Chains A and B, each alone.
Chain A
């Protein structure tokens, strides 16, 4: 029987971690944006800015469009944030400290990532607005393309552990981290992670060419909740990356939890920086890239990972 944290502890811990993570994403995003723009970074504005923006969206009224799908519009951010919470709950914070460690943790995580497509599609479809719907379809196209390489990149981490449990996957990295054992894994995972949370170069569903696309019609609380959900997914992707490839809680000197946080932050900075330093890709060339290059590479990575076991 695997350890589950009692629900009265697990739920608040996961929720608090997500909220703290979302806030950190907003802060890091501001700092990176200011650095790239050559603006001076004022700490008070970087730290208070996200809170002020959230307050602005709380004051702003929520507008609805003609014949919109009200339940869908309201539920989409909840579904998205819920999926992020499911994904994050699987990440061990330290040896033996994890909200949920099902024997099939890897499968649960992949399922959560796959369901993001439903949340994003629902969100784009609900406002009855052409560009929002357009964004929703774009996400479907990119999600269908990156989900196989995503699974394969993660699968390569399960092979050395000989288990689908995330705790076992981290446990197996005591001597060698997966980033060394299967060097292709982390870059593949990051490309796909950017795609899952449609960030930076793969922010096609809400791209500049669609004037915010899926969120074009969002205002007030609708915009706030969707933004929070999106940032939460980014946090979950970074945390899982730290567990799957950077050895989770393993590391000298510091306590395990500190290592998990540091590694998650490093990946978060990389993911966020990609949004300010890399141009938007073309959807057509990305789809081709995913099927023709990413999948073979990810397969090769799986073989590589298997070869270490022999």
Chain B
């Protein structure tokens, strides 16, 4: 008894392990939790004791959310961060959910939940779904293992591989696998139905955007750009927001390449970035060279041809493939600043990284020189992910090429390419809802 109370007290002092689910409008806030002390974001619910549900959860994600909840090991607790959005169904299924509405309350609430769980003051949450097999298999088939024939059925609850052509022209086993919607390396809400031949993605099909009907809250980082759709906005504000966005993306991308500690450093720079920090970004670019992330991790991976991207308004992704597409070129105010879009030709993943770094530095330079200058063009804005128009976002247009950009790649490369596309499904939905309904001033 004494020993278990000592262990409990020690465990209460450990970082809270948080598996975070980002709903609409919350991806930035969730990412920024990496800067907080006393908690650690983990990649798998098995490693977590606190489930953080942040932002709006559309009905389509209710069931996957319940599954994630039940995947956490006991003792577990759920903290909902619901800034002005209706709570999801999961709240009703729990006896004592913690609901936080203000930004500053998240970290203390998570830490308190963790502490109370470890010392036994809080009871672990029971499962919300019935304990049954995802696919019925017990007792099915000639040996009760769920299979039938050579490759039929779902033996032991797992689908069997089927035969399919592989990249060397052979017919080998192909395994169906669905990844998402809360896979930590994917944009929140993305589900890919994959066919894998070993490590290689043979076929990928993206499911519908679950935020389509839901997202009314764009992330704070995107708000200046959405405002610029309907009114002139200070160029300095837009360009600092763009540089911040690229650095936040970089922090995530570093994590995907197992450089999470460096990612924290980048994230801190992103949250405090001012137009005078161009030198810090340049230093950062030199550090990246040392890590080899632009060489052995991403160099030559996932080349996208300009033909594939032409006319998509895919922003940095298009410009990394040599297309000088940029809505800022049509804006007279940017013309007055002598703006020229940066375009690189290689079109591989490393080039998309380099381009965003170069653009972040360029944006800070524009912000420094812009003074009080405001945008002139409305109705079409170059957002950090590409051209934004009312009812149309770069993510939505890029989704069409997602299958083609990862098919034939090994899984690690597929993740690298998806990361480098910088998709955001809730941005896609937020742009689709007209500005008036979004409640943007």
Contacts and interface: CB of A to CB of B under 8 A. Distances in A.
Contacts of B14: 49, 52-53, 55-56
A66 interface: yes
A208 B13 contact: no
Interface in A263-285: 275-285
A55 B17 CA distance: 13
Contacts of B183: 211
Contacts of A138: 199
A60 B73 contact: yes
Interface stretch (B230-238, B250-258, B392-400, B423-431): B250-258
Given A33-B261, A63-B46, A282-B301, A52 B13 contact: yes
Nearest to A29: B261
Given A279-B292, A279-B297, A283-B412, A211 B44 contact: yes
Contacts of B185: 208-209, 211
A212 B48 CA distance: 13
Interface in B182-224: 183-185, 198-199
A203 B258 contact: yes
The A interface, classified by DSSP as helix, strand, loop or mixed, is helix
Nearest to B298: A279
Given A36-B261, A61-B75, A66-B156, A282 B412 contact: yes
B47 A223 contact: yes
Q: Which of B17, B259, B292 has the most CB of A within 10 A?
A: B259
Nearest to A222: B46
Contacts of A51: 10
A178 B78 CA distance: 55
Q: Which of A51, A60, A63, A216 has the most CB of B within 10 A?
A: A60
Given A37-B265, A276-B261, A130 B175 contact: yes
A212 B44 contact: yes
B69 to A, nearest CB: 13
A77 interface: no
B199 A209 contact: no
Contacts of B32: none
Interface in B294-319: 296-297, 301
A56 B48 CA distance: 10
B7 A55 contact: yes
Interface in A46-62: 48-49, 51-53, 55-56, 58-62
B410 A284 contact: yes
Nearest to A138: B199
Nearest to B157: A66
B410 A283 contact: yes
B10 A63 contact: no
A52 B11 contact: yes
Contacts of B296: 201, 279, 281-282, 285
Contacts of B11: 52, 55-56, 58-59
A280 B413 contact: no
Contacts of A281: 296-297
Contacts of B157: 66-67, 128
A160 interface: no
Nearest to B291: A279
Contact of B411 (A32, A210, A212, A215): A210
A181 interface: no
Nearest to B200: A284
B291 A60 contact: no
B263 to A, nearest CB: 8
Interface in B160-197: 175, 177, 183-185
Interface string A124-142: 0000101000100110000
A52 B258 contact: no
A211 B43 contact: yes
Nearest to A53: B14
Contacts of A278: 291-292
B8 interface: yes
B48 to A, nearest CB: 9
Contacts of B411: 134, 209-210
Contacts of A275: 258
A39 interface: yes
Interface in A243-291: 275-285
B103 interface: no
A218 interface: yes
Contacts of B143: none
Contacts of A209: 185, 256, 411-412, 415-416
B177 A283 contact: no
Contacts of B43: 208, 211-212, 216
Nearest to A211: B43
Contacts of A284: 410
Nearest to B296: A281
B268 A38 contact: yes
Contacts of B262: 36-37, 276-277
B325 interface: no
A203 B297 CA distance: 13
A283 B13 CA distance: 38
A186 B156 CA distance: 46
A61 B73 contact: yes
Contacts of A74: none
B75 A60 contact: yes
Nearest to A277: B291
Nearest to B133: A66
A200 B75 contact: no
B44 A220 contact: no
Given A55-B11, A67-B157, A130-B175, A279 B46 contact: no
B7 A128 contact: no
Nearest to B34: A37
Contacts of B47: 212, 218-219, 223
A217 interface: yes
9 contacts: A38-B264, A55-B11, A59-B118, A60-B74, A61-B73, A66-B157, A130-B177, A278-B291, A283-B412
A-B pairs with lowest CB-CB distance, top 7: A55-B10, A219-B73, A279-B293, A52-B14, A37-B264, A36-B261, A209-B415
